[in-house]
Structures are given as structure tokens and as C-alpha cells.
Chain A
Amino acid sequence: MTETKPLSLQVPEPSSRPGDKPDFSYIDLSAAGTTRRPEIDCAANSMRDLAFELVKVLDKNNDAVGPWAMDLDDALLLKGLRAMEKTRAFDERMQMAQRQGKTSIYVQCRGEEAIACGQRLALKKGDMCFPTYRQQGLLIAQDFPIVDMICQIYSNAKDKLGGRSLPFFYSEREHGFFSISGNLGTQFMQAVGWAMASAIKGDTRIASGWIGDGASAEGDFHAALVFASVYKPPVVLNVVNNQWAISSFQGIAGGQAANFACRGHGFNIPSLRVDGNDFMAVYAASNWAIERARSNLGPTLIEWVTYRAAAHSTSDDPTKYRPKDELEAWPMGDPIERLKNHMIRKGIWDEERHTALKQELKDEVRAAAKDAESYGTLGKGPVPGIGEMFEHVYKEMPAHLLKQRKQAGV
């Protein structure tokens, strides 16, 4: 009889911790241009290799190469570059504003700007995104008035959400931006429901659902894949794998055992793994998935491989759990630098114009923040009234809330 040894629990550990040399050797990198581009009506089971490759368009020299390289016009590239730089300038300003006590919390998307900005530019007006925390680029890429975003962040008198929601939990129906929830993951299933509704009504609009590597462990993610595979609604299912969910590396969400793209295979959903720091790849892969959805070919799952360059939020200190210099070791570069260099190489951009653009955007954001501040900041100056707290609980205020509102002194 063989002796039975005691069992032991395996808890995954990231490749490096504070003090260690950063190690991203676990990330499989395909060379730019080497990943094939199937037709949009390709059967899911004939493109399974794509979940293990990496769609990447910009090569080491920042030339656009391979089958995913689309001939994007110069104006679109400039729009993308501008949206990404504006998003970064916005984040920097809001980070500072939080430190100055103008709001309670802020979340930057530094390093991930290409994903939301790129996909938004590939979507049409009327399409609905169900974002999570780091998709402010979806609004900024549409030239949404940033002063309105800042008023929301400041919970001031001009916050259209009346101070009821956390900062950056925007809701902009007309701009295809679904109200953000703090219970991460729920929106992924809702995006599928919205897309089902669009199909039921014979509409032409599509949905785009967003989730992070961490929240993909929620049941909502799996339910979304089941419903998406069953009803084949027009939806793009985006998993932003930025390697970190607060302090938990992506292996704690199961990313070490199997990547996030290949999760689509069990549902026979076409799945792509894409360089999320490559604007050209983001646009091309989004465009592919959007075309599929719009042609009634159903859902696409996309894992965007990227890196959360900043802290999780203003309440977080990543030096406590990952090497300080991890960002420098990140092998996929910075999305803004890469697109900028591509445009310079193409002869449509230069450093001088870029410096001027950055200054212009910085000034624009500063002016917007100043404007917003004239309507108050969290708890200071003009603020939403107490009565706002009782609004929008129900469509009509029921008797018990009217009574409580009176007790609250309104």
C-alpha cells in the first residue's frame, strides 16, 4: 500500500514582490504583425489559437505591420492621441484635486488609455458601453465636456447626479455610458441583457461590456458568457487585464492557470488576446468585434493585456505589494508614446507639436477644473441640498420618504 501524503493548498504568488527584480516573463508576447486576422464570420472553433497569440500592430520601430494594421486616416490617429493625452492630463489633475481635499477618492487609468479611447472611436453613436472603473476615456474620446465630469467628481452644486454617487461614477446615457456601479462585475451581465434587448427590438445598436481581470472571478462574468453564448446578442465583452486587482495579481483571479481570453472557448465565443497598449491594435480588434456584433454574428471576448501604471485608487499604495520599478520593466511600453512615435515616423507629427498639444490639454483641464470649482467641491461652497438625498429612490416619492424627508429638515 502506498503511503498517502498530507494534502497542501496552493496559493499563487506573483513573479515579483517589493525588493525583487520585476519579472514579466510570464506574459507571452507575439511579435507585431504575426497574428492572423480571420474574417468576421469565422467560426469560433477555428480561431482558438488567437486567444493564445497577441494581436499587435505597432512593431519595435512603431511601424504598423501585419494583417491587423488598418489604414487609419491621420485625423483619426490624431483624435486618438489627443484623447489619450487628455485622459492622462485629466487623471493627473483629479489625482491632485483629491490630495487637495476637493473630493474623497479618485481612480486613474494611467497606462490603459488606449483601450477605452481606441474602442470608443470604433463605436457608433447610440452604442452603449457598460464601463467599470478605468474607462473615463470612453467619455473623453467623444469630447464630452470634462467640466461636467469634474463637477460630478467634486459632488458640487452642478453635479447632475446630485451628490448621490461616488466620484467618477458617471452616468451619461446620451453618450453611451452606462451608470457605473461599485459592485464590480454586475455591469458585464447587464451589457449582455442590453444587447439582447437590442436584438429583440430589431435595433442596429450594440453593447460593449467592460470588466477587469480581478472581477472576472465574479459569477456575473460567467453568467454573461453563458447568456452571450446562448442568445448570441450583439455585444463586445472586454476584459481589461492590467495585472493587478488592488494588491491581488491576476493569478488570484485564475490568470496563471489559464488566460482570460481562452475563457471564451468553453462557450464557443470568438476570443482575442490583444496588446492593450497599442492604439492601432485596440482600434483594429475593437472594429473586428464591433463589425461582428453589428452583422448579427454575436459576441466577441477580448482580453486586453495592459498594465495598471498607477495605484488602484488614491487610497492605495502599490509599493507595499509590487516592485517600485515594475512599470519600467513592463514590456509593452506606454500607449501614448507608442502612438506618438508611430505618427512621427509616419511624418504626420513631431515632438514640437506634441509638446504644444500636451500644454494645450493641461491648460484646458486646468481651466475646466477651475470652472467646476466655482460650483463647489466636496463639502465646500455650493453643494447639493439635503433634499437631493431623497430624490430618485423611486420615480414618485412614496409617503414614507416624504415623511422622512420632512424629519431630515427639508
Chain B
Amino acid sequence: MARMNMIQAIRDALDIKLADDDNVVVFGEDVGYFGGVFRATQGLQEKYGKSRVFDAPISELGIIGAAVGMGAYGLRPVPEIQFADYILPAYDQIASEAARLRYRSSGEFSAPITVRAPCGGGIYGGQTHSQSPEALFTHVAGLKTVIPSNPYDAKGLLIASIEDDDPVIFLEPKRLYNGPFDGRHDGPATPWSEQDSGEVPDGHYTVPLGKAAITRAGEAVTVLTYGTMVHVVAAAVQETGIDAEIIDLRTLVPLDEEAIEASVKKTGRCVIVHEATKTSGFGGELIAVVQELCFHYLEAPIERIAGWDTPYPHAQEWDYFPDPGRVTKALEKVMLP
């Protein structure tokens, strides 16, 4: 057992899978000798050699296209896209190829690849280093989409993703990489080393895909969220004193509908929070799921907090980023009798 930040936990997961499965290969822009711009693959090339961990040309479509071919061969590639914002050149290879290879070949070929990509804002990354493109992937049949919110989950979910036989989009909220983040950019923060979720067991373990986590149990209202927003919501809940149940979805597809249904039926109220833009964001899907499963239990309209429908701004980052203040307003509104 060791205290780790999220980058260390991700590196540990890659290290474990490279060691226990010869078919795992790790590659992407700057991931080899240098160890990645966020250092997630630091030291792995030296340990496993250049044919297992290597630098790739700046061609996202090439990186994912190569991974699909390697997957068809029988490898388990773990390509890195340097920023989720850069994933769009690879979209065809992900959405039309990796996602459908099993379907169109009756399982003769598949693409058991895990695409790692840092997502989200909070580091002054501007329009092209801050986006949260999860809804572009949750809309595609055949893909799984995973977003961890802490070091423990990041390691367990990444190992589970690599071992999964279907393609997984593994989005890593970069604001949480080195932590700490307590939901307020201008407030004090507790380092990962002082948080329970920074406690990461040694060796192999998995956090199952498709299972949400209740990060705070409560009776008054259910908050559905994931990634960096888990911490923003926690801050808002603490400040308001509202007895909210916070559900960290962890996996968006497949979605843990059972956990959502049980919680909303219990509380009768629901707030949804994500960092991605609002229109056609995953929050819309969550609202649909909640009303399909729990309509007669709802005591108030569902509230949704999301990034504004603008490109991600630079100087106005913290006005764009949903903060505890906006979440608090939504919580208070949904709690009105």
C-alpha cells in the first residue's frame, strides 16, 4: 500500500500490465524515452524495452489505426493521445473501426485497445488542452467510456480497461493528475497523500467497469457526476450542509443504471454535474435515464450543471469551469419544497 497521486497510480497500472502480459504495448506522442508530457509512462521504456513502449509520430489517426491493427493481430495496445482535444483525427479509426470491428466480423477480429487521453480543464489549457469529449464516445455503440476521479480508481479502472476485450476510451481528468484539488481553484487543498482515495494497494487489483461508486451517502438529493466534478460537488455539498448522495459514475458506458435508480428512488431529487458543454452533453442522457427509471419518484425537476456552450476559454477558465457556487445554487433549487 502506498500513497500516490493519479499519475503515479496510472503508471503503476501500466507497469503491472506490461509485466504480466506480453501482449500489452504502450505508445503515443512523447511516451517513450521522455515518458509522456504528464510523465504517465516515465521509466517504462527503460524497463520493458523499445518494442513494448515507444514514441509515435504526431498522427492520432495513425496511432489508433496502428492500435486497431495490433489488436486484430492479438495484442492489447494501450495508446496514449496526448490531450483528449487531439483525438478527433483518430475519430474515424475509433468510431468506425475499433468500435465496430467485432460487430462486422462476428467476433473474428476485435480491438481490445485502451485509449488513454488526458481530458478536462483547470490547468489554463485554453481551447485545445481542456475539453471533455466523452459524449462523442458514449454515443458510439461498441465503445466503453471510463473517467476516474481519484488514484485508487484510476489504477483499478485502468487495469480493468486493459484486460477488457472491448475498446475502452479512458479519459483522465488532468486537473486531478498531481492533485490536490478540493473543488475550488482558489481555496486550500488536501494533497492526495492525505486522502483515502490516494491510498493505492500494491500489485494487481481491478475496479470493475460499469459500476458507480457512492462517494458520499445521503438522503436528500442524488448528485450524478464524474471526473473532476466529483470534487467540486463534494465541496458544494460540504458548504451547503445538504445531505446529498454523491454518485461518481466512473464508467459512462456501460452505465450503472441500477445505482442511479436505487439512489434517485430513495432521494426523489437529482442534480447532474459535468464539465463538458451542456447541449448534447452526457447530462442529457442521464436526465433521460432518470426520468425513464424514476419519473414517479421525482419530487422536483432535475437540475443540470455543465460547462457553458462555448469553446473552452483561456483567461475566463474559472468562470467557465462549473464551480461549487453553481452546484450550490442547483442543490438549493432542487431542494425547494
A106 to B254, CA, bound (A): 36
* A181 B66 Cβ-Cβ under 8 A: no
* A161 B61 Cβ-Cβ under 8 A: no
**From B51, B75, B108, B141, residue with most partner A Cβ within 10 Å:** B108
If A223-B59, A227-B62 touch, does A193 touch B210 (CB 8 Å cutoff)?
no
Q: Which residues of B contact A162 (CB under 8 A)?
A: 106
**From B65, B68, B106, residue with most partner A Cβ within 10 Å:** B65
Chain A, interface residues (CB within 8 Å), range: 35 or more
Which B residues contact A (CB, under 8 angstroms)?
Answer: 25, 51-52, 56-57, 59, 61-62, 65-70, 72-75, 89, 92-93, 96-97, 100-110, 141-142, 144, 165-166, 210, 253-255, 257-258
Which of A89-97, A244-252, A342-350, A389-397 lies at the binding interface?
Answer: A389-397
* A392 B255 Cβ-Cβ under 8 A: no
Q: Which residues of A contact B73 (CB under 8 A)?
A: 128, 193-194, 197-198, 201
Interface residues of A in 140-162 (CB under 8 A from B): 160-162
Q: Does A195 contact B (CB under 8 A)?
A: yes
Q: Does A6 contact B (CB under 8 A)?
A: no
1/0 contact string of A351-390 vs chain B (CB within 8 Å) = 0000000000000000000000000000000000000000
Which of A165-173, A257-265, A290-298 lies at the binding interface?
Answer: A165-173
Q: Does A226 contact B (CB under 8 A)?
A: yes
Q: Does A409 contact B (CB under 8 A)?
A: no
Tell me which of A169, A194, A400 contacts B72 (CB under 8 A): A194
* A171 B106 Cβ-Cβ under 8 A: yes
Nearest-CB residue, chain B, relative to A182: B96
Tell me the smallest distance from the CB of A297 to a CB of chain B, in Å. Answer: 18
If A183-B97, A227-B59 touch, does A190 touch B106 (CB 8 Å cutoff)?
no
If A186-B93, A197-B74 touch, does A223 touch B104 (CB 8 Å cutoff)?
no
Tell me which of B69, B89, B107, B110 contacts A196 (CB under 8 A): B69
Q: Which residues of A contact B107 (CB under 8 A)?
A: 392, 395
If A223-B59, A224-B65 touch, does A200 touch B25 (CB 8 Å cutoff)?
yes
A392 to B254, CA, bound (A): 15
* B75 A200 Cβ-Cβ under 8 A: yes
1/0 contact string of A188-212 vs chain B (CB within 8 Å) = 0111111111111100000100000
Which A residues contact B (CB, under 8 angstroms)?
Answer: 128, 130, 160-162, 164-165, 169, 171-173, 178-179, 181, 183, 186, 189-201, 207, 219-220, 223-224, 226-227, 230, 391-395, 398-400
Nearest-CB residue, chain A, relative to B165: A395
* A193 B142 Cβ-Cβ under 8 A: no
If A196-B70, A393-B103, A400-B254 touch, does A189 touch B65 (CB 8 Å cutoff)?
yes
Tell me which of B61, B96, B103, B108 contacts A189 (CB under 8 A): B61
Tell me the smallest distance from the CB of B216 to a CB of chain A, in Å. Answer: 25
Going nearest first, the 4 A-B pairs with the smallest beta carbon separation are A193-B69, A189-B65, A223-B62, A193-B66
Q: Which residues of A contact B92 (CB under 8 A)?
A: 183, 186
* B62 A173 Cβ-Cβ under 8 A: no
* A171 B109 Cβ-Cβ under 8 A: yes
Q: Which residues of A contact B56 (CB under 8 A)?
A: 227
Q: List 29 A-B contacts (CB under 8 A).
A: A128-B73, A164-B103, A171-B106, A179-B104, A186-B65, A186-B97, A189-B61, A189-B68, A189-B93, A190-B68, A190-B72, A192-B65, A193-B69, A194-B72, A194-B73, A195-B69, A197-B70, A200-B70, A200-B75, A220-B93, A223-B57, A223-B59, A224-B62, A391-B106, A393-B141, A394-B142, A395-B107, A399-B254, A400-B254
Nearest-CB residue, chain B, relative to A186: B97
A183 to B93, CA, bound (A): 9
User: 6 new A-B pairs (CB below 8 Å) besides A171-B109, A191-B69?
Assistant: A128-B72, A178-B72, A181-B96, A189-B68, A197-B73, A223-B61
Tell me the smallest distance from the CB of B198 to a CB of chain A, in Å. Answer: 31
* A399 B165 Cβ-Cβ under 8 A: no
* A220 B61 Cβ-Cβ under 8 A: yes
Q: Which residues of A contact B104 (CB under 8 A)?
A: 161, 164-165, 169, 171, 179, 181
Q: Which residues of B contact A399 (CB under 8 A)?
A: 210, 254, 257-258
* A226 B62 Cβ-Cβ under 8 A: yes
A274 to B72, CA, bound (A): 30
* A194 B69 Cβ-Cβ under 8 A: yes
If A190-B68, A194-B72, A200-B52 touch, does A171 touch B61 (CB 8 Å cutoff)?
no
A173 to B109, CA, bound (A): 7
A223 to B96, CA, bound (A): 17
Q: Which residues of B contact A199 (CB under 8 A)?
A: 51
Tell me which of B62, B65, B102 contacts A392 (CB under 8 A): B102
* A186 B254 Cβ-Cβ under 8 A: no
Tell me the smallest distance from the CB of A50 to a CB of chain B, in Å. Answer: 26
A188 to B195, CA, bound (A): 47
Q: Which residues of B contact A223 (CB under 8 A)?
A: 57, 59, 61-62, 65
Q: Which residues of B contact A171 (CB under 8 A)?
A: 104-106, 108-109
A160 to B65, CA, bound (A): 26
A200 to B57, CA, bound (A): 17
Nearest-CB residue, chain B, relative to A395: B165
* B102 A193 Cβ-Cβ under 8 A: no
Tell me the smallest distance from the CB of B161 to a CB of chain A, in Å. Answer: 13
Q: Which residues of A contact B110 (CB under 8 A)?
A: 395
Nearest-CB residue, chain A, relative to B167: A394
Q: Which residues of A contact B62 (CB under 8 A)?
A: 189, 223-224, 226-227
Q: Which residues of A contact B257 (CB under 8 A)?
A: 399-400
A230 to B63, CA, bound (A): 13
A169 to B72, CA, bound (A): 16
* B69 A173 Cβ-Cβ under 8 A: no
Q: Which residues of B contact A189 (CB under 8 A)?
A: 61-62, 65-66, 68-69, 93
Tell me which of B70, B93, B97, B101 contacts A194 (CB under 8 A): B70
If A197-B70, A219-B89 touch, does A181 touch B165 (CB 8 Å cutoff)?
no
**From B66, B100, B101, B109, residue with most partner A Cβ within 10 Å:** B66
